[in-house]
């Protein structure tokens, strides 16, 4: 059975309706940097890097914590949040203009395509461990 021209048109409109999902995707690269650069980095999502900088691919709707540790320094961390971003505005506008765009708006919200991670890049500044001097 062949799909009608109207069916193809409807499928095209619905597939493009989620503008942010199409143009921005549902994943994002987050860069984590440390001072000192020799720090080992890992995340609450299971990513690991032997040193800074560290680039991890994460789902846009997931918040996570990045940790860093280096010899002679206290362990540090930073919370990376998923926040609604102004870069999603063109996709929201596209969803408002296109017929069936409300479906796209719901899809963009559900899959996180309207979100970005902040901070990005995420910086972790480690604090040196103070060594006790002779008394």
Instruction: Using only the alpha carbons of the chain, give its radius of gyration.
Output: 21
CA 126 from centroid of its chain's CA atoms: 23
Q: Is the pTM of this model over 0.75?
A: no
Q: Tens place of pLDDT for every residue, the chain, 135 residues?
A: 455 655 545 444 444 444 645 566 789 999 999 999 999 999 999 999 999 999 999 999 999 999 999 999 999 999 999 998 765 444 444 444 444 444 444 455 556 678 889 999 999 999 999 876 665
pLDDT at 105: 47
Instruction: Check: CB of residue 41 under 8 Å from CB of residue 65.
Output: no
pLDDT at 25: 76
Query: How far is 110 from 78, CA to CA, in rounded Å?
Result: 25
Terminal alpha carbon distance of the chain: 89
């Amino acid at each position: 059975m062949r799909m009608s021209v109207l069916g193809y048109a409807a499928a095209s409109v619905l597939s493009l309706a989620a503008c942010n999902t199409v143009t921005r995707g549902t994943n994002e690269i987050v860069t984590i940097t440390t001072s000192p650069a020799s720090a080992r980095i890992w995340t609450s999502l299971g990513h690991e890097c032997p040193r800074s900088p560290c680039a991890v691919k994460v789902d846009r709707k997931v918040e996570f914590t990045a940790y860093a540790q280096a010899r002679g320094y206290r362990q540090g961390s930073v919370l990376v949040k998923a926040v609604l971003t102004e870069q999603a505005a063109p996709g929201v506008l596209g969803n408002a203009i296109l017929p069936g765009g409300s479906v796209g708006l719901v899809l963009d919200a559900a899959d996180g395509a309207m979100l970005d991670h902040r901070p990005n890049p995420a910086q972790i500044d480690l604090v040196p461990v103070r060594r006790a001097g002779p008394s």
